Amino acid sequence: MSNIFSITISLHAALAVFRDRLPIRYVIGYIGSAFIGIGSFAFHATLLYQAQLADEIPMILLASSLLFLVFDSQPGFALRLHSLFIIAGLLAFDVSFSWSYYVYRNPVYHQVVFGVMAVAITARIIYLLHWTNLCAHMSSKARSSTSGLLWSGSTLFVLGFAIWNIDNICCDPLNRWKVVVGWPTAFFLEGHAWWHIFTALGGYLMITGMTYLTLCIKDDPNKYTIAYTCRLPRVARLRVRKPSQ
């Protein structure tokens, strides 16, 4: 049930992309995050291998979409030859990985590949922010907002990962405590559920940060800002006020 949180905030962000008329590429990450939540819901409800694939394969597809966002950094949103090469390469990789993971059913293989992709995304973001002049036209406030979203998201992700591992290590005593305290208090001792919640929120913040960063690189940063709905940040297009008659 904790996956409902992930699905809800992802769909909320996807709708915001349409509402603010942002380029369609920015909805893919949020939709991918929602599919991860749906797949995770199915896997935990059934424990079927097909449902496990529905949980894990979208993680690779989401990482691929984010790699496209941060590597397609030329101004403008037209799909140039460079953009098409990136898309073709990522699609070929996704198909190859999906087939090989179906054949070689080792979760460590999936974890290593996803980890490498996450490191590549992080390295690219750091490169864009600190080693190029692509962000030179961004205001200090915009750069600060971007860094804040990315660091906050990363911190929540790491926190969720730590709680998940504590849950694995201390599974037996935690189960005994759950029986003692009873429902619904026992829910707060479900470390894996907190892993879902913290990674969902952390991923949401990181995707929002990457959206803001790449929008400012590829377009005029003065057109966009960070707004909040239900205390959740989102990238919003600034409305141009018409002069009074």
Report the predicted TM-score, pTM, of the whole model to 2 decimal places: 0.92
Residue 228, strand partner residues: 233
Which residues are CB-neighbours of 204 under 8 A, at least 6 positions away?
9, 10, 13, 30, 33, 153, 232
| CATH ID of 3-237, from 1.20.1070, 1.20.1740, 3.40.50, 2.40.160 | 1.20.1070
| Tens place of pLDDT per residue across the chain (245 aa) | 999 999 999 999 999 999 999 999 999 999 999 999 999 999 999 999 999 999 999 999 999 999 999 999 988 998 889 999 999 999 999 999 999 999 988 989 999 999 999 999 999 999 999 898 888 888 889 999 999 999 999 999 999 989 998 998 988 998 899 989 998 888 899 999 999 999 999 999 999 999 999 999 999 999 999 999 888 999 999 875 544 44
